[in-house]
Chain A
Amino acid sequence: MKSIFTLSALALASLMSVNAQAVSWSLSGESVTGTRLGVASLNDVGDAAFGPIDSDLAEVIPTTSVYMAGFDGFTAVQGGNSIDVAMSHSAVAESSYLGDTSTAYLELLTSASLDNAFIVDANVALDAAATAPVRYLSQSFTLMADAGESVGMQALVTIGLYADHEEESTPGIMASAFSSYQVFLNGNLLDADSFTGFGSVNGEFQFDALIGDTITLQAVNESAFSASGLMLNPGDAPHALVDGEFRASLQVAAVPEPEAYALMLAGLGLVGLAVRRKQNTAR
């Protein structure tokens, strides 16, 4: 396992305390490209399936939510022998995380699998490959002003990244998974990284932005397996399940202007006064 994701030491908790105002996110345009592909043959007799990633579900709710998914499966048959292949992939982007509009998120899920083999003949040659891609999702997020805020005010953006790749496959089947991302601020590349292999990695980085800015995340997540000339005999049950997930959270906090700090301090003073006055009247 190898991690080359950027890491940041800044704790999110410290960020929340200055979040006096509520800058929020709005989705502002997405594009998805990618084709899933699966082929399988037993003794050179095979079947195949492929399709675009939003073939089964594409739900775009402008400014708030995007969901796209595609699922496909087939059975390769040769005589009394058969084996199944399936691919699944989905992409989600939302302008809030569980109702918290200061956090937007993005999620890509993929899986490629092979199972349900019935092998009745001796020396059956399996050739199979499947790739479940979200290649790629480009999603833009715009910083929206809330009441009392305006375009151009400063904000601090924290991007959290997480990738997890898992696999279980019988010997002779090669599994692979891949995640990558690029972060752009108003079209300028800020950060990019990728992760190959299995296990999980995470990272986080921060940068200053202004209300009205657009942050674009381009992300790839892919699960794949392949087998070439794998010899099977009666009772063999080759199996592969590769799944990948990539998640990103985009958190924003307004940065108080210097005069706002002064106001906050003055406000604290007033609170102190009010408390003291209350104690006086209580007597």
Chain B
Amino acid sequence: MKKHLLATALAGLFVAGAASVATAGVSPACTGNIFMYTVDTGVADRLAGGSCINDLILDTPNTWGSHGQFVSHVTKLTLNLQKQRAITARERVALQKAAAQSSVGKSITVKLIAFNDFHGYIKPGEGSSSNPGVARFATRINELKAQNALNAVVSAGDMIGASPLTSALFHDEPTIEAFNRIGIDFNAVGNHEFDEGKAELLRMQHGGNHPSDANSGLGLVADLEQGEFAGAEFNFLAANVAETSTGKTIFPGYGVKSFLGNKVAFIGMTLEGTPTIVTPSGVAGLTFSDEADTVNALVPKLKAQGIESIVVLVHEGGFAAGGINGCSGPSGPIVDIVNRLDEEVDLVITGHTHQAYNCLINNKSGKPVRVTSGGQYARNLTDIDVTIDTKTRDVISVVANNLTTGTGSTTAEDPYLTELVNHYDGLSAGPRARVIGHIASSLYRSNNSAGESVMGDVIADAQLGATDDAGFGEAVAAFMNPGGIRSDLLYSVPGKNDGDVTYGEAFTVQPFGNSLVTMTLTGEQIDALLEQQFTGCTPDLAPAYFNLPAGENGQPFNRILQVSNGFTYTWDAQGAGCHKVDITSIKINGVAINPASSYRVTVNSFMADGGDEFYVLKNGTDRLGGAQDLDALEAWFTEKGSIDPAIYPGAQARIKRVN
């Protein structure tokens, strides 16, 4: 009787790997006893079919998904050996018993390779010489993959968005294609995945060219599908992002990868506060839920599927000192999130803060859980070994280590990725040179004695211009941190016409891709914001509404915010800490502010979270996300046509200093 196809397939069950077979014509020497990993069977090794029996056992770690599978393999192998008369009936029983007594298959170790906040930094040195580029990143990922065939590569959000020109110009298609080439498994959405809205994010996953911009679908043939952008071959995850109308998540909340039959679930999500730092159009119609509540609600569903190994990829993070593998004084939102997590969660891979850390933080049950972050821009990656008990399917150990990617000759580039980066670098040369506006002379970022620069004035005005309309923030003032202004705009540069401002130049001035955030502050909070610019403003000198954390030492140097036109004030260099600004001098369009009144003000997303030690901004209310800072700057140049610093309204005349 002819065997049925399925039956034939079943008969081949549990055949894993290939036994090492001796080179033809040379019989290996089989010495000592046969071992089941560490268990001595008491049966002497011998030649069978050209191989030593010991080499047919396949007892190296990570070969079998369960102990039963290994014993089943030995049962079948030894039956054949007995049929060949290579072993006796009793020797077979001894081999089977030793297999049953061994630990083979009782656990597996899965290697997770994690990163976060990649932000499209595919080209080495773009933005900063510290950025290794995706081709070196690929080399490091491949090295780790080669160490363990049971692996998964995962990203905790902001893979795309706020990216440098080489990726941003092509709507981050180059970044998606780069990770398709590397081969990764999951990317949790972060806030920046929403920068261009839901439809664009879905296009990142599913492919197709951009509906209106021709800078799309320009990849190499190998990366395209039917001549168009192919979309991500890995899965985006968004457990806490639902369509408000249907309640359904826009991407799966979790993905499951099976390792020799042992399932590991990866729950992916962004921070609940995403709408407060993303432009409203980017998150229209979407609801963002609490991170810990979302995870905890999924846990029973996963357990019902027999899944006991649960990894959370969350685009929210914290801060910790002690280097990339340190964790002294962990703080930030991730601490509270992990403190509320179900104890079934085995590992939390985080992001958003661009910090690298390697922490243990207590979960809801008071048990420590590993919490990692790999910093930013492919500079580090986290190498995590997760050992799973194949019987209980529980994670029994997690060992994590942040590794640096390395720049320059430290780490070789993977030529398969270099090819892709070079392709887009060449394509971006033209757009980089696109003229977005003109200047009558150079716009410098150097400050006058009051702390104000022309470049800063223009940027602050651009940010107010982008957020003052009804429905877009109704802001009355904008504040720009000086550290975010990365370059001058020079009148004369080789390769362009004098007075032109190119897109590439503007990009260099504002490379971070921060989005704008408009919030409500009271008059006295605005005063506190200005006081927090100066050194010496410490908690002991400040009222509570300054929101200075205990132990805060104040600014390391005066960090004078650039302010929009119409906002004026005077500061006294001899004033005491937290008392350098006379609140009555603070005016908006000539009218003194009222300490108790509310004002809509715009800052960038970095400052809005208390960045650069402007802690009072963390207490700003009614937050609304806005455009990207660079888009606001380009729109300002489009509106003004040409900017002449000599006659620019309020140029370097908004902030006054006495003493």
Contacts and interface: CB of A to CB of B under 8 A. Distances in A.
B297 interface: no
B198 interface: no
Contact of A57 (B71, B93, B306): B71
B405 to A, nearest CB: 33
B111 interface: no
A59 B10 contact: no
Contacts of B392: 61
A114 B96 contact: no
B397 interface: no
Nearest to A239: B85
A85 B82 CA distance: 13
Interface in B32-90: 66-69, 71-72, 75-76, 79, 82-83, 88-90
Contact of A201 (B1, B96, B100): B1
A26 B306 contact: yes
Contacts of A243: 79
B90 A75 contact: yes
Interface string B87-126: 0111011101100110000000000000000000000000
A249 B13 CA distance: 12
A80 interface: no
Interface in A103-126: 105, 107, 109, 111, 113-116
A1 B1 CA distance: 10
Given A65-B66, A278-B208, A88 B3 contact: no
Interface in A88-145: 88, 90, 92, 94-99, 105, 107, 109, 111, 113-116, 144
Contacts of B208: 278
B96 A71 contact: yes
Given A56-B96, A71-B100, A90 B75 contact: yes
Among B100, B227, B258, which residue has the most Cβ atoms of chain A within 10 A? Answer: B100
B212 to A, nearest CB: 11
Contact of A92 (B72, B305, B390): B72
8 shortest A-B CB distances, which residue pairs?
A: A67-B68, A162-B7, A86-B89, A73-B93, A113-B89, A57-B100, A73-B90, A71-B96
Contacts of B391: 59, 61
Interface in A236-279: 241, 243, 245, 247, 249, 251, 278
Interface residues on A, range: 35 or more
A35 B101 CA distance: 21
Contacts of B67: 57, 59, 67
Given A67-B68, A105-B13, A168-B83, A86 B6 contact: no
Nearest to A27: B306
Contacts of A95: 306
Contacts of B7: 160-162, 202, 247, 249
A69 B92 contact: no
Contact of A249 (B6, B72, B76, B97): B6
A109 B68 CA distance: 13
Nearest to A163: B7
Contacts of A245: 11
A204 B261 CA distance: 26
Nearest to B252: A147
B100 A113 contact: no
22 contacts: A56-B97, A57-B67, A61-B66, A61-B393, A67-B71, A71-B92, A71-B97, A73-B89, A86-B90, A86-B92, A86-B93, A88-B93, A96-B261, A109-B72, A111-B79, A115-B82, A144-B305, A161-B7, A200-B1, A200-B3, A202-B3, A281-B209
Contacts of A144: 305
Interface of B: 1, 3-7, 10-11, 13, 66-69, 71-72, 75-76, 79, 82-83, 88-90, 92-94, 96-97, 100-101, 208-209, 226-228, 258, 261, 305-306, 390-393
Nearest to A248: B10
B3 to A, nearest CB: 6
Nearest to B2: A202
A1 B261 CA distance: 37
Contact of A56 (B4, B100, B228, B261): B100
Contacts of A86: 89-90, 92-93
A251 B97 CA distance: 33
A146 to B, nearest CB: 9
B6 A204 contact: yes
Given A86-B92, A162-B3, 13 more contacts: A61-B390, A61-B391, A67-B71, A69-B68, A92-B72, A99-B261, A113-B82, A114-B89, A160-B10, A162-B6, A168-B83, A245-B11, A281-B209
Contact of B10 (A65, A69, A90, A249): A249
Interface string A136-170: 00000000100000000000000011101000100
Given A3-B1, A90-B72, A202-B3, A64 B89 contact: no
A144 B305 CA distance: 9
A52 interface: no
Contacts of B96: 56, 69, 71, 88
A88 B1 contact: no
Given A3-B1, A57-B100, A65-B66, A84 B90 contact: yes
Contacts of A249: 6-7, 10
Given A88-B92, A99-B261, A69 B13 contact: no
A201 B390 CA distance: 34
A12 interface: yes
Nearest to A275: B226
A212 interface: no
A59 B69 CA distance: 10
A222 interface: no
Contacts of A59: 66-68, 391
B221 to A, nearest CB: 15
B4 A202 contact: yes
A77 B588 CA distance: 108
B261 A84 contact: no
A63 B308 CA distance: 12
Contacts of A203: 4
A170 to B, nearest CB: 13
Nearest to A86: B89
Contacts of A26: 306
A199 B67 CA distance: 30
Interface centre among B10, B79, B94 (most CB of A within 10 A): B10
B89 A69 contact: no
B89 A84 contact: yes
Contacts of A99: 258, 261
A111 B83 CA distance: 11
Given A56-B97, A97-B10, A202-B4, A63 B88 contact: no
B375 to A, nearest CB: 34
A164 B342 CA distance: 48
